[in-house]
Structures are given as C-alpha cells and as structure tokens.
Amino acid sequence: MMKKWFYSLVAVPFLLAACGDDPEVETLDTAEVPAIVEVDIQTAEQLNVGETIQLSARVTQEEEAVNDAKEVKFEVWESGLRDEGEMLDGELTEDGIYVADYTFDHDGVYYMFAHTTARGMHVMPKQELIVGNPDMSKVLEDTSSNSMEDDKENKEEDHNH
C-alpha cells in the first residue's frame, strides 16, 4: 500500500510537467505581430502647372514590395480647401509602386494623402506639393491634420466658435 502511494506521489509531478509542454501555449508566447506596411510617397514636392504628373507611392512590408494592396487612393486638395479635393485610384505598376495621373491647373500649395489599405492595415502619409510659383500671401492655411478623426474634431471646434 505504501509503495503505491509513493509511486503516485512521484508520478503526479511528471504528469503536470507534461501538461506544461502544450504547444498552443508556446505559439501564443512566440507569435509575432505582423510587420508594419510602409508607404513612401515618390511624387516630387515641386511640380509644374499644366503638366500631367504621376502621383506615386511605393508600398512595402519589411522592405519587400507589396503588390497586393487592397486599395491605394490619392487624395489631393489645394491648401485650405480639403472639402473640394479629389480622390484618385492608384494603379499598381510594378515593385509595389502605385500611381495615378493628375494635372494641376493653377499655381498653389497642395496636399496629398496616399490612403493605403494593405494586409489588414491602413496607412495614410501626407505630403505638401508646391505647384508653379504660388503667391504665398494668398495661400490659405491648411488646417487638416494627419488623420481623419482629428479633421472631424477641427471641424467641430470651428463650428463652436
């Protein structure tokens, strides 16, 4: 009787130790967060009026081209006039580069977002574009921020004044 009790006392810690080797628990500890999708705007910051230019952005993840982005849209607006801006679909050319043709019809300071949805992430870098030779004294200040929610807050604050 004593021997059986002793064997069960020795066996229980081994059984418990085996339970600790559950492979599912290890995968939770070692699971990696997906690498961030990066969007590099490649459009020049100084542009000419009346020329068709390419709005361009390169999408990468861990320095590898992302050719399967769900959506790349270029939002372009003149400084201070975001509500009058345009949204253009980017087309994949090669090597993770998405482009859209655009022509600026007058001098001014413009802004562009490259709204990018790829691999479960949304990234939207912003770039200032100087077109022609704008009269900086006539350029409206751009109050839009780098995210959609901040823009909504800015508009609400404007209405409260």
Domains and CATH numbers, the chain: 37-131 (2.60.40.1930)
What's residue 49's pLDDT?
A: 97
Residue 21 has pLDDT above 70, yes or no: no
Residue 84 has pLDDT above 70, yes or no: yes
Report how far residue 128's alpha carbon sits from residue 78's, in angstroms, rounded to the nearest whole number: 10
The pTM is what?
0.71
What's residue 33's pLDDT?
A: 75
- How much is the average pLDDT of 133-160? 65
Q: What would you measure as the largest C-alpha separation in the chain, in angstroms? A: 100
Of 102, 111, 110, which is closest to residue 134 (Cα–Cα)? 110
What's residue 154's pLDDT?
A: 40
Structure tokens that stand for 73 in this block: 């849209």
Residue 41: pLDDT band by 50, 70, 90 thresholds? very high
What's residue 156's pLDDT?
A: 41
Helix, strand, coil fractions of the chain, as percent rounded to 5: 25, 40, 35
What's residue 50's pLDDT?
A: 97
Query: What percent of the chain has a predicted confidence (pLDDT) above 70?
Result: 70
Cα dihedral value 104, 106, 111, 117, nearest 10:
-20
- How much is the average pLDDT of 4-16? 52
